Amino acid sequence: MVMIGKRGAGCQTSLERIRNPYCVKMLIIGSQARCSRMVNQALARIFDEIADLMEITGGDLFRINSYRRAARTIDDLTENLTDIAKRKELQKIPGIGKGTAERIRQFLEEGHITLHQELLAQVPPRLPQLLQIPGLGPKKVRALYQELGVKNIEQLRAAIEAGKVEKLAGFGPKSTHNIIEGMDFLARSAGRTPIGMAWIIAHALRETIAGFNGVKRVEFAGSLRRGCETIGDIDMLCEADDGEATIQAFSAMPEVNQVLAAGETKGSILVTNPRGGDIQVDLRVVPQESFGAAWQYFTGSKQHNIRLRELAVKKGWRLNEYGLFDGDKSLAGISEEDIYRKLGFSPIPPEVREDRGEIEAEGKLPDLVTIDDIRGDLHVHTTDSDGRNSIEELAEAARQRGYSYLAITNHSKSSIIANGLSIERLLEHVEAIHNLNKTLKGLTLLAGVECDILSDGSLDYPDNILAQLDYVVASIHAGMQQNRDRVTKRSLAALENPYVCTLGHPSGRLIGARDAMDLDWEKIIETAARCGTALELNCSWQRLDLKDVHVRTAVEAGCRIVIATDSHEVQQLDQMHFGIQTARRGWATKTQVLNTLTETELKTWIKKKRTRQESHAPGIFTRGGK
């Protein structure tokens, strides 16, 4: 049997898939499926590229669509293609015919597909990069290439500046303006990969490296270990018997596209980045006696290290990647903790090593929230709106993660593309959840909703409907381009509503794909604190919204935050990890996080919030339910 998941709201190209949080499902932390998914994803991406290239070169529409469909099917598979191929069941996958199965086999055996290479040879080498510009699809790229001879981003910019693009059929001034914005956006996010993608690559490679002869230990360092939202390159450290042999094996891994450096203790390679292009991976081989010092050094950040080294110098010592020294005498080096302790600190968690006050705090850092403090997830979607799993499946997955509660928060009626619930469907849904609760053991479901904040600032359901729910997330999904005053007031109106427990993904950004709304953060945070409405830290790695610095300001102002995954399928519940790291980067403690409360405490919090807020003056926008 070949297992296929159910896809969320419509996605087209691989890039859209990466940008669209409803579709991306590459996250399977802590699961063996990680590497196998990498194969499925890589192949899905190649099939999408084949479709893109065919469209650019004017291929047959029927074939283009069949490759797009195949890409989607492969991306939706819950089983590893290698295993399916071994059973000779590729053609049993719905929608995979003989030709496509043949291409899959070629990819699995040879690591490439001839058709893909032939198509690539037909276009200028840097033309496909234009597809990375938000808002530029293969049709437009074809027009730019054929009509204007544009072969790369620089030539596109020149053509726009010369006024040629807006005169092209199908473009015009507005679309040209969007392309400029897209190019600027791309330039700003260039070279950095969202942590969720780097994470999968890093874990897969770590498994491989850990299997090399003589390798005793492999650890992540750099921005990945600090939990930064985007990663420049992946840094790893290992302890091994033979440095040179380890680096040789590292350089010879099948994933390697290019070896940048391969020495006795250090190697740098490029591997395929699912986002497009390559990502660099650095590996250093370090002896046991200085492992801690090297780990500290290569974890960074650079600013943090500089401050630490200054402190060492003040004491007349030396700190580098080999250890902490007083003259020739080694004071510490085996463990990171020793280095921090010798310098007079309690060990500083990697997430806060940014020179944002952690040095001044002199070891008196707050007790940061950990994943073990989390008692439930308060933002998930099921098949009733645009999720891929049933309520029962999510409940079971939540229970496996040791949670005591789970809020099912499907989309509201205005989110039409996400199959938002009409009032009738919502009420049936609530009843179904409450019924299921009666038989469910060890987990309580909260019947919730992710209610749209409409462009006039009202909510998508009236208050008397919201009152029938156990938990309400209010989010902006449309009208994000409105001016600062408008988007801020809409958010404030939602924060003021007594039924709204939390403001979902407050900034609306998609990392590397869409800018945050232009919000007045001071007002948002002040209002959230005053109304006792929690601000969400959405853990989806495309969002991480609130971001770290906003978490910090919010918790300092007395806001509660909710660390919630916005899962559209069960595996995404594990994105909690990214949210926790981001919360820690924002110095959040357990007590500042709503979903560390016990079920009883949470219910009391919701009840109190609903009753005490009646006295708050409504914002200038009408509330729903008048």
Residues forming the site for ligand DGT (CB under 6 A): 222-223, 228, 231-233, 235, 297-298, 300-302, 305-306
Tell me which of ligand DGT, Ca ion, Zn ion, none is bound by residue 190, counting a contact when its beta carbon lies within the kind-specific cut-off of 5 to 8 angstroms: none
Residue 49 is encoded by which pair of tokens? 């590229």
Note the Cα 363 to chain centre separation in Å. 31
Among Zn ion, Ca ion, ligand DGT, none, what does residue 220 contact (CB within 5–8 Å per kind)?
none
Q: Which residues contact 447 (CB under 8 A, 6 or more apart)?
A: 408, 429, 430, 433, 434, 469, 470, 471
176/383 with CB nearer Zn ion: 383
Biggest distance spanned by C-alpha atoms of the chain: 76
Q: CB of 371 within 8 A of CB of 351?
A: no
Q: Using CB distances below 5 to 8 A depending on partner kind, what does residue 219 bind out of Zn ion, ligand DGT, Ca ion, none? A: none
Q: Which of 45, 61, 60, 53 is nearest to 123 (CA)?
A: 53
Q: How far is the CB of 574 from ligand DGT (least distance, A)?
A: 22
Residue 538 contact, options ligand DGT, Zn ion, Ca ion, none, Cβ 5-8 Å cut-off depending on partner type: none
In the bound state with ligand DGT, the residue whose beta carbon lies nearer, of 192 and 381, is 192
Give which of 150, 145, 148 is closest to 167, Cα–Cα: 148
Q: Candidates 17-25, 214-222, 408-416, 499-507: pick the segment binding Ca ion (CB under 5 A).
A: 214-222
Residue from the set 222, 243, 498, 579 that interacts with Ca ion by CB under 5 A: 222
Total residues in contact with Ca ion, by rule CB under 5 A: 5
**From ligand DGT, Zn ion, Ca ion, none, interface partner of 305 (C-beta below 5 to 8 A by class):** ligand DGT
The DSSP bridge pattern shows strands 376-380 and 405-411 to be parallel
Q: For residues 575 and 540, is the Cβ–Cβ distance under 8 A? A: yes
Instruction: Give the integer Cα–Cα distance in Å for 447 and 437.
Output: 10
Nearest residue (CB) to Zn ion, 382 versus 475: 475
What is the spatial distance between Cα 562 and Cα 535, in angstroms, rounded to a whole number? 6
Q: Which residues pair with 271 in a beta bridge?
A: 256, 279
Write down the least CB distance from residue 396 to ligand DGT, Å: 36
Q: If contact means CB under 5 to 8 A according to the sort of partner, which of Zn ion, Ca ion, ligand DGT, none does residue 302 touch? A: ligand DGT
Closer residue to Zn ion in complex, CB, 148/418: 418
Nearest to ligand DGT of 76, 235 (CB atom): 235
Which helix (DSSP H) or strand (DSSP E) does residue 474 occupy?
strand 471-475
The three-state (H, E, C) secondary structure of 375-436, written as one string: CEEEEECCCCCCCCCCHHHHHHHHHHCCCCEEEEEEEECCCCCCCCECHHHHHHHHHHHHHH
CB of 585 to ligand DGT, least distance (A): 13
CA 254/CA 577 separation, integer angstroms: 29
Can you read off the two tokens belonging to residue 429?
């849904």
Nearest-approach distance from CB 479 to Zn ion, in angstroms? 14
Instruction: Compose the 462-501 pattern: x for residues touching Zn ion by CB under 5 A, - for all others.
Output: -------------x--------------------------
413 backbone dihedrals φ, ψ, rounded to 5°: -60, -30
Report the alpha-carbon distance of residue 359 to residue 351 in Å, rounded. 13
Q: Encode 481-495: b = buried (16+ Cβ within 10 Å), e = exposed.
A: ebeeebbbbbbbbbb
Task: Answer with the entry of Ca ion, Zn ion, ligand DGT, none that 475 interacts with (C-beta below 5 to 8 A by kind).
Answer: Zn ion
Helical spans, DSSP H, in 475-568: 484-496, 521-531, 548-556
Q: How far is the CB of 237 from Ca ion (least distance, A)?
A: 11
Nearer to ligand DGT, 297 or 405 (CB): 297
Q: Tokens representing 463?
A: 């208050």
Q: Which residue's CB is nearer to ligand DGT, number 273 or number 468?
A: 273
CB of 329 to Ca ion, least distance (A): 30
Residues 227-286 close enough to bind Ca ion by CB under 5 A: 233, 235, 282
Least distance (Å) from Ca ion to the CB of residue 231?
6
Q: List, in order, residues 6 or more apart from 497 with CB less than 8 Å away.
A: 459, 463, 466, 474, 613, 623, 624
DSSP string over 171-182: THHHHHHHHHHH
CB of 272 to ligand DGT, least distance (A): 18
Rule CB under 5 A: is residue 377 a binding residue for Ca ion?
no
- Select 201 or 564, whichever has its Cβ closest to Zn ion: 564
Q: Residue 461 touches which of ligand DGT, Zn ion, Ca ion, none (CB < 5 to 8 A by kind)?
A: none
Q: Which is closer to ligand DGT, CB of 268 or CB of 596? A: 268
Report which residue's Cβ sits closest to Zn ion. Answer: 475
C-alpha 100/C-alpha 151 separation (Å) is: 30
- Residue 583 Cβ, how far from Ca ion at the closest point, in Å? 22
Nearer to ligand DGT, 25 or 225 (CB): 225
Reduced to 3 states (helix: H, G, I; strand: E, B; else coil), residue 184 is helix
Q: Which is nearer to ligand DGT, 301 or 335 (CB)?
A: 301
Q: Which residue is nearest to ligand DGT (CB)?
A: 300
List the structure tokens of 609: 């919030």
Judged by CB under 5 A, which stretch of 74-82, 111-119, 216-224, 476-484 contacts Ca ion?
216-224
Q: Which does 112 bind (CB under 5 to 8 A by kind): ligand DGT, Ca ion, Zn ion, none?
A: none
Q: Binding residues for Ca ion, per CB under 5 A?
A: 222-223, 233, 235, 282
Residues within the interface to Zn ion (CB under 5 A): 475
